[in-house]
Every structure is written in structure tokens, then in C-alpha cells.
């Protein structure tokens, strides 16, 4: 009778496990809202200067949507149930 031994490489070695552990610990310490470390974003007296990126295509679409909604705010459906 012969015995077959199957060996395989471990899925993660020690350095991989340490790197994943460090990443997990870092994610636990980050604020889910802003992504900053909690030790930074939870200080009340910090002066924040948020940078904004504006997508002008989205801004134009939002303005057009608001104008359309204001124009048809009081619209009633016709006999077929369609709005203008």
C-alpha cells in the first residue's frame, strides 16, 4: 500500500499576513465619512479647508432639472394621465 502526501504552498506567508493585519488595523482607525484617521478628524479645534471639485456637466444638468421641476410644479395630468 502506498501513501500519497499532498503538500501545497500556504495561501499567505507571514509577511503577507502582517501586511493584511496592518491594512485591517488602518481601516479600523479611519473615519467612515471622511477617510481621515480618527485621531485627526475628531479634533474639534482643527481648521479645515475643504477642497471641492466641481463637475460642471453635473451642475448644468442639476440646474436644468430644477428649472424644469419649477416650470411644471403645478402641472396636472391630462385626460390620458400624461404630464407635460
Reading the block at residue 60, the C-alpha cell is 448644468
CA 10, 13, 16, 20: dihedral to nearest 10 degrees? Answer: 70
Q: What is the mean pLDDT of the chain?
A: 86
| Separation CA 18–CA 40 (nearest Å) | 25
Query: Residue 41 burial by CB count (10 A; 0-12/13-18/19+): exposed, middle or buried?
Result: middle
* Mean pLDDT on 21-35: 92
pLDDT of residue 26: 94
Among the ranges 4-18, 28-42, 46-60, which has the highest mean pLDDT value? 28-42
Most distant CA pair in the chain, distance: 88
Q: Would you say residue 51 has pLDDT above 80?
A: no
Q: Percent of the chain beyond pLDDT 70?
A: 95
Amino acid at each position: 500500500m502506498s501513501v500519497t502526501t499532498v503538500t501545497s504552498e500556504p495561501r499567505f506567508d507571514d509577511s503577507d499576513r502582517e501586511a493584511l493585519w496592518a491594512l485591517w488595523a488602518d481601516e479600523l482607525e479611519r473615519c467612515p465619512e471622511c477617510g481621515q484617521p480618527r485621531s485627526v478628524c475628531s479634533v474639534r479645534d482643527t481648521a479645515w479647508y475643504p477642497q471641492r471639485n466641481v463637475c460642471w456637466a453635473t451642475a448644468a444638468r442639476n440646474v436644468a432639472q430644477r428649472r424644469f421641476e419649477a416650470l411644471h410644479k403645478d402641472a396636472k395630468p391630462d385626460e390620458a394621465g400624461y404630464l407635460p
